[in-house]
Every structure is written in structure tokens, then in C-alpha cells.
Amino acid sequence: MEYNGMLLHNVQELIYDQEYHDYGLNRVPESLRVRLNPKAQKNIRFVSGCELRFVMESDEVQIALRRMPVSGSILSQGMVQVYQGNFQGSYQIGPQAVTTEGSRILIRKQDWGYVRQFTQSGKTTERRGPGFSAEVTRVLLPYDWGCFLGEIQGKIRPPKPSELPPKRLLVYGSSITHGGNASLMSQTYAFRLAEILGVDCINLGCAGSAWMDPAMGAWIAGRKDWDMALLELGVNVIGEWTPQRLYERAGSFIRQIKEAHPEQPVWVTDMYYNHHDFCQDPRAFQFREVIKTCVEELKYRYPRLEYVNGLEMMGEKDGFCCLSSDGLHPSDLGHSVIARRLGERLG
């Protein structure tokens, strides 16, 4: 959606805060959010994969941002990154902190002549698509929590469609798809995968609550703005559901989406290596088999549907350095490994 000269990427609604006079950024419509499971109703408010995109027409732009109030062990600040087109911004413009008290992000226009030349050469990265125009400034919001947008100072305009990647990858899944425990949004496997493929990313990862809600499945099915999808299913219900319940819910969720998008490729993966595998928890094997079975039973009806074994994307052979200290979420290295292997598979 567009707002005050910006394109708010991966944002569906703005929720006005009467106390601070700013706007909460919602990845899904409020009418959908309230129909999700209780944990997802909170966690879908995290701004995973959300960006503020614009083309600068003044020498500097200042943006007021505020981190959603925190509780418990959640940090009171998150880090914003600034990208110029396909390129990570230099240290003069990021990363910058966003706090619960509110912060002002200052971006000064730099000499992007080389970036323009790099982009035009088509030889800059492993990227398989055109990616972003060098003119587009991208403010990557902290994926791990909610964020509010306030005053915008400076002259800007929204990017034109021709300045953005022509294709979009939609991802849905657990906190791992949402980004945890990557140090920054640009280190998440979803972001890196989109970079590799040269596409845009619609991130609907939902930390701890990717329960394949029918309402979410219907909404994804009803969207017309994605060209391919990756669904990461199972890990959030390993301690909640029986294999039979997972089979029923996952099968219904995949069917909902493929019925509406028979021509769009959809990949379904399960769990990447984690402490359940290290401890030889039989549920890890059972739940992977359930997801594999669901896809195998449906792919004869929907040819452009494929199963991806999570252990092949990140497994025990990759070593514990691919996990972060909680033993469940990938490290930055782990996210990079997953992205690279998924890129090979999806490409």
C-alpha cells in the first residue's frame, strides 16, 4: 500500500494510535487477524519482511519510527537497515536503532553512481532476476516485533512498478520463516532466498503460531499478487497436535491454496534440523512424514506442488554452528545455508 509518498511493502493496514499519533503496520487486515489462533493474533503484528520503499527527491529524508511496547525478555530496541536497490547501505546510513520511546531515522542521499552501473551491468551477484532499481531506497524494519510509523520529512515518491522485481515469492511458516534468530532482517533465509531468486518477498511467517489456520489459508488463496509460494509447516505444532491432526490441517491448508492457484508453483517444506532431531524425538520423524505424505497425495491433482525435505536444506551434517543458542532457530549461518539450498531447489 502507499502512504505519504512511500510504498509500504508487506503492509495491508495502518492502525492509528491515538496516544502517539502514529500508525501501527499490519501485515494482514484486522478482519483476518482476529480470526487467527490466539498466539497468531499477536505475532502476526510483527513486521517480518516489511519495508518502507521510496525514491529520494530531496538530499535527506527523516522518518519517525516507534517500536511496539515490549514485555518480558523482549528487547526495547530493534535495528533498522537501509538498502539502496539491491545493495546494503553503507555504515553512514545504517543500521539504526528503533526504540519503544520512538526514534528518527535519518537517511542522506549519497553518490549511487557505482550502484547504478552495477545494476545495469547485470553481473553483480548470484541473483537470477533483475531485482530492484538502484533508485529505490528500502528501509528494512526490525522483523522481530511490531513497529509504528510517524512523521516523514523530505521529498520522496513511491517506486514505479518498473523499479521493483517483477515476480513475488510468498512465504508462510514458523518463527524461522519469520526470521528468528537472525541478527538482522537481511540475514533471514526468506530475505536471502528472494535476493538469490531476484524476486520480491511477501513474508507471512508467524512466530510460534503457524497453525495453518483456515482463515489464513483462504486469505493466501484469495491473493492475486504472488507468483510462487513456500510453506514451512509442522514445527509449531509438534508439542500441540497428533500426527493425524497435522495431516488433516496441513492437507486442508495446502489444498485451499493450490485449488485457487493451480498454475503457481508451491513448495512445501517441514522442519529444519533442531534439538528435536538431536534428542531423537520420534515426533520429528513422524511430523516430517506427515507433511511429505500430504504433498505426495495432492501433487497428482496439482502438478506444480513439490515437497522439500527440511533436513536437506539444513541438517545434522551442517554442524551445530548452523543453530543459534536456543537449539531451535538457525544462526545467521544457518539462515544463509537454508537460503542457498532453497535457491538451488526453487530455481
* Residues 158 and 180 reside in one and the same domain: no
pLDDT the model gives residue 125: 52
Q: How many domains does the chain have?
A: 2
* Residues 143 and 159 reside in one and the same domain: yes
**Per-residue pLDDT tens over the stretch 258-271:** 999 999 999 999 99
* Residues 301 and 203 reside in one and the same domain: yes
Name the band, by pLDDT with cuts 50, 70 and 90, for residue 5: very high
Residue 160 has pLDDT above 90, yes or no: yes
CATH number at residue 206: 3.40.50.1110
- Average pLDDT for residues 231-256, to the nearest whole number? 97
pLDDT the model gives residue 123: 61
Least confident of 29-33, 115-119, 222-226, 285-289: 115-119
Residue 174 has pLDDT above 90, yes or no: yes
Residue 128 has pLDDT above 70, yes or no: no
Least confident of 58-72, 117-131, 152-166, 302-316: 117-131
* Residues 105 and 59 reside in one and the same domain: yes
- State the residue range of the domain holding 260: 168-346
- Average pLDDT for residues 225-236, to the nearest whole number? 97
Measured in degrees and rounded to the nearest 5, phi and psi for residue 270 equal -120, -120
Reading the block at residue 81, the C-alpha cell is: 537497515
Residue 129 has pLDDT above 70, yes or no: no
- Average pLDDT for residues 297-310, to the nearest whole number? 95
Residue 126 has pLDDT above 60, yes or no: no
* Residues 159 and 187 reside in one and the same domain: no
Residue 13 has pLDDT above 70, yes or no: yes
DSSP 187-233: GSHHHHHHHHHT-EEEE---TT-----HHHHHHHHH--S-SEEEEE-
